[in-house]
Amino acid sequence: MEYVTLGNTGTTVSRLCFGTWRFAKRHGDTVETDREEAHDLLDTAWEQGINFIDTANVYGDPNGTSEEWIGEWLADHDREDFVVASKVYFPFDGWGEPGPNDSGLGRKHIRAQIEGTLERLGTDYLDLYYIHRWDENTPIEETMRTLTELVEEGKVHYLGASSMAAWQLTKALWTSDVEGLERFDVTQPMVNAVQYDEVSDYLDVCADQDLAVCPYSPLAGGFLTGKYERTGDGGFEAPDGSRGSLDEMFDEYYVTERAWDVLETVESVAEEVDATPAQVSLRWLMEQDEFTCVPIVGARTPAQLEENVGAVEIDLTDEQFERIDAARSSDD
């Protein structure tokens, strides 16, 4: 494993972060990753040198289960070995129905959620706390002030921002600067070799402001591994049990004409460098030169995770890098 300084922070992380969104994720009677599998995946991540773990208060059914399972696992490890990130914003259902203040970025919700998150993770601080989305109903100054208090109280080390418009990210940074508050150091947009142009303004802000970028869904939910087969009728065949076979949103999110074009190029580069499409897709992100880029991989099995970590070992030439870029924009 290689390690990198996370943007402007003084924290060092592995070149890949491990994401735990699918822990306790239910599809009817099927649980995508159960407790034992979750702990096996965390073991593999750690054995592979990954020290950076991503979760959110709302991950798992019921919400909070992902944090809880990580907390159980962390209890048998040295907390100081890990950089742990969580998030706040979405309605938190816990074991019941969310109430009117159980979502958003107001002081009341953030202060309640950080306590639940720390308790479930069994820790007294988070290395990184993201706002999961932008809250149109709360002045950003209240949010940044509340988050600043958490930093001052030692409950959170650094602040992060996930999906939002470039102007919202800019406004939050500006508010921090003029009000003398803590600012975001890390971002978490959806970025992969297919979906990049949609967030290029956001990424320009990250580059300009030296914010680290931790892309989520770096493999487009598994599409960029090449395991989905195109069928003649314009559809696709998904392997049994894969996300594409379980998740209704998969098609709409990830399977576009552009995605097939990018995949074809990624597969040809993979053959040239004797790697897999997943490794090439991750390497393409890690080699972004405008900002520190630490993809959040979301493997389902230890074997997938080991394969993905292999991205650290490969190199792409400028020509290969540009060919993947060109495939993405070829139908514009």
Which sequence positions are flagged as catalytic?
Answer: 59
Question: In terms of CB distance, is 46 or 149 closer to ligand NAP?
Answer: 46
Task: Figure out which of the listed residues 35, 145, 300, 323 binds ligand NAP, where binding follows CB under 6 A.
Answer: 300
Over the window 189 to 218, marking each residue x when it contacts ligand NAP by CB under 6 A and - when it does not, the resulting string is: ---------------------------xxx
Q: Is 54 in the site for ligand NAP (CB under 6 A)?
A: yes
Shorter beta-carbon distance to ligand NAP: residue 61 or 149: 61
How far apart CA 183 and CA 308 sit, in angstroms, is: 32
- The answer to the question of residue 220 lying near ligand NAP (CB under 6 A) is yes
Residue 183 interacts with ligand NAP (CB under 6 A): yes or no: no
- Rg of the chain over Cα atoms, rounded to whole angstroms, equals 19
Q: Smallest Cα–Cα separation from 259: which of 215, 198, 319?
A: 198
Q: Which two tokens stand for residue 108?
A: 């009341």
Binding string, 75-94, against ligand NAP, x = CB under 6 A?
--------------------
- Does 308 engage in binding with ligand NAP (CB under 6 A)? yes
Shortest spacing between CB 273 and ligand NAP, in angstroms: 16
Helix H, strand E, coil C: the string for 248-292 is CHHHHHHCCHHHHHHHHHHHHHHHHHCCCHHHHHHHHHHCCCCCC
- Cα 295 off chain centre by: 7
- For residue 246, count CB atoms less than 10 angstroms from its CB and return exposed for 0-12, middle for 13-18, buried for 19 or more: middle
Report in angstroms how near the CB of residue 179 gets to ligand NAP at its nearest. 25
Our finding on whether 242 is near ligand NAP (CB under 6 A) is: yes
Residue choice 121, 299, 309, 327 for contact with ligand NAP (CB under 6 A) = 299
Among 70, 275, 296, 314, binds ligand NAP (CB under 6 A): 296
Residues 88-147 touching ligand NAP, rule: CB under 6 A, are: 132
Task: State the minimum distance, in angstroms, from the CB of residue 218 to ligand NAP.
Answer: 5
Among 181, 206, 222, 327, binds ligand NAP (CB under 6 A): 222
User: Does residue 243 bind ligand NAP (CB under 6 A)?
Assistant: yes
Interaction of residue 168 with ligand NAP, rule CB under 6 A: no
Helices and strands (H, E) in the chain, number of each type: 12, 14
Strands (E), the chain: 3-5, 12-14, 17-19, 26-27, 30-31, 52-54, 83-88, 126-131, 156-161, 184-187, 212-213, 229-230, 236-237, 296-297
Rounded Cα gap, residues 87 and 142, in angstroms: 17
Q: In angstroms, what is the minimal distance from the CB of 178 to ligand NAP?
A: 27
Alpha-carbon separation of residue 44 from 25, 38, 39, 47 (angstroms): 20, 10, 9, 5
Q: How many residues bind ligand NAP (CB under 6 A)?
A: 29
Instruction: Please select the residue that binds ligand NAP; options are 9, 11, 20, 113, rule is CB under 6 A.
Output: 20
Residues 111 and 97: beta-carbon distance below 8 Å: no
Q: Residue type for 224, please? A: L
Positions that interact with ligand NAP (CB under 6 A): 19-22, 54, 132, 162-163, 188, 216-222, 225, 227, 242-243, 278, 296-300, 304, 307-308
